[in-house]
Amino acid sequence: MTLDPPTILALSVALAAAAALYLTIEWRSVREPSLLFWSAGFATVTLGSTLALLRSSGYLMIGIWLANGLLVTAHVLFLLGVARFTQVRLSPLWLLMLLVWLGMLMLPADLPGSKAMLAVQSLLVALPTLRASSLLRPHGKSLSVGAVQLRYVLLIHGLFYVAKALSVLIPGTLIDLAAFKGEIIQISLVEGAMAIMLIALSMTGSERYRREQQIARLAARDPLTALYNRRALDLRAPRLLAQVSPAQPGALLLIDIDHFKSVNDLHGHTAGDRLLIALSEMIRAVVPQGALAARLGGDEFVILLNPASTQQIVELGSSLREQFQQLAAQTFATPQSVTLSIGANLFDQPPSSLAVLIEQGDTTLYESKRGGRDSIRLVDRTGGSSG
């Protein structure tokens, strides 16, 4: 099969249609809006490439002006998808491209007009493509392999269209849009087919990686409070505990809500859930950077600190108790005060396991409850005294 322009265009139609269908199927599975924009972009490429075949039959208005306009529209849709993917709001000034495209109707159908149309249309494709590439720059965070690939594919694709626009300035360049004549046009057709494949694969890879990351984050979080769950704590604690030393002690605070059952019994489990969420937000607000906070289950929470000190533990525990007691008293009326009991252990040697450390915290927490609840019990295992 000879790769003449009509054949390359037919191949582009098939590739773009397949990409649009595949991205639509992906969108139906995950409902990510960026996939819908990208799918619409490839559907537009499919329609534009199909209409471009009509120019050889004499339908120049449809085959050149409308087909090229649809190609520009497709790249704007790609930009909108990237903006949604990166959560960036685009300026409404991009709508001015529509006026430029309409202005192309004023260009004559002669050779200079073909060159001018090629230059303008190429720049209209390059601008949103290069902007989409710039949106994918990592802002302090590493991008997925798919997103990095998409960034560079869009960058090369956009630069190609800039070069295509500049090519009309070269003396003697043959450009005949109606007959697909001229090296730059034939090279562009080949580049377009290759770009369709690479852009579609990169878009799919970007979204798939993000979805996998979201699933991993959800698996590590307690569904009610969004704190780490016990499994995530087990995975992350060893690294923090390994840094414990006499010069850098660590601490574990085990937190339990006193008389939590009375809230559920008198006000319902929804009220109890609201109280758990409120406590999780308080914990999230007071724990220092680098600390670990998790919900072990029920109304029991844990905070793991490194480095830590007696003063820090007392201040953190007292702050939590005061905030929580005030909130619970104002929100839920119960026969007995709903408060916090905290068992804390300060240590300067890495424990044999997190389970052993939590068991020690349980013992300390029990002593706190036995002493009257609404208190913090601290055991200093660094050689100091307990209080």
Percent of the chain whose pLDDT exceeds 90: 44
- Which of these CATH numbers, 3.40.50.300, 3.40.50.720, 3.40.50.1470, 3.30.70.270, describes 228-380? 3.30.70.270
**pLDDT over 60 at 178, yes or no:** no
Q: What is the pLDDT of residues 272-325, one digit of tens each?
A: 999 999 999 999 999 998 899 999 989 999 999 999 999 999 999 999 999 999
**pLDDT over 80 at 35, yes or no:** yes
Q: For residues 121 and 133, what is the distance between their CA atoms, to the nearest angstrom?
A: 19
**pLDDT over 80 at 57, yes or no:** no
Task: Assess contact for 332 and 258: CB atoms under 8 A.
Answer: no
Question: What is this structure's pTM?
Answer: 0.59
Q: For residues 235 and 241, what is the distance between their CA atoms, to the nearest angstrom?
A: 11
Q: What is the phi-psi region of residue 254: left when phi exceeds 0, alpha when psi lies from -120 to 50, beta otherwise?
A: beta
Q: For residues 153 and 119, what is the distance between their CA atoms, to the nearest angstrom?
A: 21
Q: Where are the beta strands (DSSP E) in the chain?
A: 250-258, 292-297, 300-305, 339-347, 376-380
Q: Where are the domains of the chain?
A: 5-218, 228-380
What's the rounded mean pLDDT across residues 345-361? 92
| Angle ∠(139,141,145) on CA atoms, nearest 5 | 110
At position 313, the amino acid (one-letter code) is: I
What pLDDT shows up at residue 130? 95
Q: For residues 39 and 44, what is the distance between their CA atoms, to the nearest angstrom?
A: 9
Return the closest-CA partner of residue 146 out of 204, 81, 193. Answer: 204
Q: What is the pLDDT of residues 114-150, one digit of tens each?
A: 778 888 888 999 999 999 999 988 754 545 666 788 8
Q: Is 291 helix (H, G, I), strand (E, B) or coil?
A: coil
